[in-house]
Homo-oligomer: A and B are copies of this chain.
Amino acid sequence: MAAEKGHRRRRPIITLITDFGEGYYVAAMKGVILDICQDACIVDITHDIRSHDVLEGAFTLLCTYPYFPPKSVHVAVVDPGVGSERRGIIVATDDHYFVGPDNGVFSFVFNREQVRKVISIESQLYQRGTVSPTFHGRDVFSPVAAWLALGTQLEKFGQEIEDYAGATVLPVQKVEENRLEGMVIHVDKFGNIITSISRDNASQLLGNEGTPKFFLNGHEITHHYSFYAEASPGEVFTLLGSSGYYEIAAHKKRAADILGVERGEKVQLELVTE
């Protein structure tokens, strides 16, 4: 059993979020990773982030990285500025590593985690020999993630920096004494409407009294349930979703279609006291 204790490392996990869509770009990234770190367990989070939508990438990362084991490496490439002067960075928190462009895609992570170090990716030793100015996902971020997963020390990749794109919160603001305004941050495959308003937001900004009432696209939603099947078929209601954000749903129907709502729409929450 000594061997087990002494030599057994955790299997390196590398997760991928991109806006590349399905196809050969992502496959090339995986080839590069496996060529360096053959034991890597590569997990696709999604490659269907809307093209260039850094906010959607950041939100998807926020909803997924916490479930992965310590020392996982999370690569997030939503990178409209690829090839320009924008830097590539590695973010080390107590439990995770993050690799991607310094364009805000890690801003929600900065807001939630204790950041241990942010490194600007500079050393060419850990990049591919020729770096395409249009595909740092393959030529910079994938090899860096693979070397990181192999245990390469942070300092080897480049200098520590402090002036990276900082922490931001999901878009939520208090617009009236008892009213918050947020946005529709995601519409899932079921047509459930996920808002940027979390229960924590609501209680910090509005307190805990009153019953929640949601307003979006001219509709008022007052019924609140804790799971989908509690509602009657087709009934629109609110729910505290599995990632901690309020969502608007309809039992076995697409709430987004019923209410005519897309990602980006404004949504308001009021706590109504009698």
Contact = CB atoms under 8 A, between A and B. Distances in A.
A149 interface: no
Nearest to A45: B27
B34 A41 contact: yes
A64 interface: yes
Contacts of A190: 19, 21, 51
A60 B228 contact: no
Contact of A83 (B19, B60, B72, B230): B230
A215 interface: no
A228 B80 contact: yes
A35 B242 contact: no
Given A134-B227, A229-B83, A46 B22 contact: yes
B84 A227 contact: yes
A13 B33 CA distance: 12
Interface of A: 10-11, 13, 15, 19-25, 27-28, 30-32, 34-35, 38-39, 41-46, 48, 51-52, 60, 63-69, 72, 80-84, 132-135, 138-139, 188-191, 226-230, 239, 241-243, 251-252
Given A38-B11, A228-B83, A45 B67 contact: no
A48 B25 CA distance: 13
26 contacts: A10-B38, A11-B38, A15-B27, A15-B31, A19-B189, A19-B190, A20-B189, A21-B190, A27-B44, A27-B45, A27-B46, A28-B67, A31-B64, A31-B66, A31-B72, A32-B67, A35-B68, A38-B41, A38-B69, A51-B190, A80-B228, A80-B251, A83-B228, A84-B229, A134-B226, A134-B228
Nearest to A189: B21
Given A22-B48, A24-B60, A227 B83 contact: yes
